[in-house]
Structure 1
Amino acid sequence: MNIMAPALIGELSSYLTGDALMALLTLTLMEIVLGIDNIVFIAIITGRLPEEKRSFARRFGLVLAMGMRILLLLVIGYLMQLVDPLFHLSDLAPTQAIADYFHEHEEANEVSGKDIILLVGGLFLLWTAVREIHHKIEGEGGEAEIGNLPGDSGGARDGIDPVTEKNRRNVTVGGVLFRIAFMDVIFSLDSVITAVGMAKQIPIMVIAVVISVGVMIAFANQISEFVQRHPTVKMLALSFLILIGVVLISEAAGTPISKGYVYFAMAFSLMVEFLNLRMAMKRMRPSYGEGETGSIRH
């Protein structure tokens, strides 16, 4: 017992460093913002259930989302350990000059399973973020701008039509939970790949997922309303996805970007966004006051 204690303390201390705590805080906030689409989807699909069953299905759906994310984290975490080279880019080079370049930059020449995961994940984040930003800028207003759910057609979401009491009686909790579990795999991909890009240790990623889902279970309605009132927060999170996608691609190419620079850029952007929100609120308050005093004078 005495022999294991120092090793356990040393392992725990590695998760209490400044970088680890910053990664945990930033990742938790990102997971919450990126989970808004999941909250919206769960709220819509559980709306098909009788009212007395919705609360249970909504909370259990979020717990399912947490389980799917942790499972994906463990799978991707295992794949990230595949560091042995699968092939060399110099062998595929069309010209000798390109082959010589890769021979001189061996870190970019060797391609492992980890590199492929990072490259595909980075491209996926870039594609997801750019598509969502385009949807928010070019799409029509309203609830459709919260998230681009598969099957969206402008009216009903994911093929879900306005619900009648007859339809609710035909829907089971098990069927709803199955659909939630299936869609959680799709919704979790961006957040899981984001976690891999922001933190190195699997425990940090799992803790961030557990905390974020706990917060979403407790404050799902408040978080959704806040993001709807302040769409720039979601836009900022999408811009972070682009940043993390570039980080993953650069790491796959053998030129990793220091996480310190990434965290500083995110913290600075969040501070600017906070100041913008404060300024917007202060501008709204005087306008109300002036309107009231103006009406009294007249």
Structure 2
Amino acid sequence: MDALLALAADPAAWVALATLVAMEVVLGIDNLIFISIITNKLPPEQQERARRVGIGLALVLRLALLGTVAIIVRLTAPVFEIFGHGLSWRDMILIAGGLFLVWKATKEIHHNVDPDPGPDMFDARKATLGFGAAIGQILVLDLVFSIDSIVTAVGMTPHVPIMVIAVLVAVAVMLLAANPLARFIQANPTVVMLALGFLLMIGMTLIAEGFGAHVPKGYVYAAMAFSTLVEALNIFSRRARQRRGGGAH
């Protein structure tokens, strides 16, 4: 208890907490986009429950990993080498998660652009995925993003209580944003393609990170923010044209 009070009285701890909360929220965006796209393929009555379960799993995984910080840190130790680069368990998990994201995003993009996709076409009005399958896919990516999140947290502060608070705040933000984001993606078909493009970029970034090529997260999120701004302008432009067209009649 004394240690917690001393930590609360330390200004540096508050700065570390604010920085880590911001970082965890930003890292949670990737997870949330994937959860939104997957759950939108479920029957409407299951979507909100699936989002809560998916985000709940993300919280459980992050807190469980925080309880094994010493093990998580050891995951960064090289296990074997490929082409002169040492691969750790964390690297292999990131590569596997990145490949899964690239495969999933490519599959969904194909379903969107194929003129005759058959019964599996991604359509917000259809349920093309079972609840268990959706939760399984969310769990796989939750694990990848959780490990990345905790390794980032460990690199920013040695204090576990700060990490726990940052994780709780980030997951609370995800819970608040999940339904509005999913509804927005569902209501704007072009946003689906933009979100899938984000998942492709995130997947490639995870693969690059796994092979030791550091990709500054700032560049990735700046590109995502710029693309989102352009898409927002397109949405406003389409709505303005629709209003003018409606007024003409």
Normalised by the length of structure 2, the TM-score is 0.73
Q: Does residue 65 of structure 1 match 2:41?
A: no
The AA in structure 2 aligned to 1:66 is: I
Decide whether aligned partners of structure 1 residues 22 and 187 sit closer, same or farther in structure 2, where only a CA change above 3 A counts: closer
3-state SS, counterpart of residue 110 of structure 1: strand
Please name the residue that 1:43 is paired with. Answer: 44
In the alignment, what sits opposite 2:16? 14
Q: Is the contact made by 1:196 and 1:205 (CA closer than 8 Å) also made in structure 2? A: no
**Is residue 233 of structure 2 the alignment partner of residue 233 of structure 1?**
no
Root mean square deviation of aligned Cα: 3.6
* Corresponding residue for residue 25 of structure 2: 24
Q: Which residue is equivalent to 1:87?
A: 80
Q: Which 10-residue stretch deviates more, 233-242 or 35-44?
A: 35-44
The alignment covers a number of residue pairs equal to 229
Aligned counterparts of 2:200 and 2:210: Cα–Cα separation in 1: 15
Amino acid at match of 1:16: A
- Per the TM alignment, residue 206 of structure 1 is displaced from its structure 2 partner at its CA by 5.1
1:76 to 1:115, Cα distance in 2 relative to 1, 3 A: farther
Q: Write the distance in 1 (CA, Å) between the matches of 2:106 and 2:192.
A: 13
Contact 2:76 2:89 in 1 (8 A): yes
Which residue is 2:238 aligned to?
Answer: 280
* C-alpha deviation, 1:255, in angstroms: 1.4
Give the residue type in structure 2 aligned to 1:43. P
Aligned mates of 2:200, 2:140 — CA distance in 1: 15
Question: What whole-Å deviation, never above 9, does each CA across 1:40-92 have from its counterpart, x for those lacking one?
Answer: 5263559xxxxxxxxxxx55x543332222234456776753011111225xx
The CA deviation at 1:197 is 5.9
Which structure's CA Rg is the greater one?
1
Alpha-carbon distance, 1:234 to partner? 1.6
Q: 1:248 deviation in Å?
A: 1.1
Matched, 1:207 2:209: no
Q: Give the letter aligned to residue 4 of structure 1.
A: L
CA–CA distance in structure 2, aligned partners of residues 281 and 30 of structure 1: 29
CA shift in 2, pair 1:254/1:226, >3 Å: closer
Residues 206, 238 of structure 1: alpha-carbon distance in 2 compared, 3 angstrom cutoff:
farther
Contact 1:34 1:237 in 2 (8 A): no
State the identity %: 28
- Distance between the aligned counterparts of 1:272 and 1:196, measured in 2? 32
Point out where structure 2 has 5 or more consecutive residues left out of the alignment.
154-162
Structure 1 stretches of 5 or more lacking a match?
A: 47-57, 91-101, 103-108, 159-178, 292-298
Q: For residues 5 and 224 of structure 1, what CA distance do their matches in structure 2 show?
A: 37
Distance 1:261 1:198, change over 3 A: farther
Per-residue deviation, residues 117-154 of structure 1 (Å, max 9, x unmatched):
111111111111111111111136998423997xx4xx
Equivalent in the alignment of 2:137: 186
Is 1:146 the counterpart of 2:124? The answer is yes
Q: Would the aligned equivalents of 1:28 and 1:209 in 2 still touch at CA under 8 Å?
A: no
* Deviation (angstroms), 1:116: 0.6
| Residue 5 of structure 1, aligned match among 5, 8, 32 | 8
Q: 1:286 to 1:42 in 2, by over 3 A?
A: closer
TM-score (norm 1): 0.62
